[in-house]
Amino acid sequence: MAKSKAQRMREHKERKKEQLGDKWLKSERRRVRGYFVPMAELDDEKQMKLREQNKIRQARYRNEKKKSGNSEAAASSVITDGSNEPQPSTSTNAVGY
């Protein structure tokens, strides 16, 4: 069976690490860090565009998380005892219950 791109890349990185060691890791870190640009250095238009893209990605992630049921909110909202009886009020109203 053919290897996926991720598998090929993983093996390539392993070979490079074995051949060059820490020297390659440092150069790879430096190369990847070059892509990062702080938000403050971007102009207003690019900042707004980037924030909008991040907002869309975050909303998509939250929706997927809700669908999969792995969120803490979904787990905490599950009724554990299975009864549908109303719980007694703990308020201190002078209703007389």
pTM for this entry: 0.45
**How far is Cα 49 from Cα 46, in angstroms, rounded to an integer?**
5
4: left (phi over 0), alpha (psi -120 to 50) or beta: beta
Mean pLDDT over 1-13 rounds to: 92
pLDDT surpassing 60 at residue 2? yes
Mean pLDDT over 19-42 rounds to: 91
Quick check: is 29 in a domain? yes
Sign of CA dihedral 4, 5, 10, 12: positive
Number of domains in the chain: 1
Quick check: is 31 in a domain? yes
Average pLDDT, the chain: 83
Name the band, by pLDDT with cuts 50, 70 and 90, for residue 53: very high
Quick check: is 25 in a domain? yes
Give the single-character DSSP code of 1: -
Mean pLDDT over 2-8 rounds to: 94
Quick check: is 84 in a domain? no
pLDDT surpassing 70 at residue 70? no
Structural domain of residue 17, as residue ranges?
A: 13-67
Quick check: is 54 in a domain? yes
Quick check: is 41 in a domain? yes
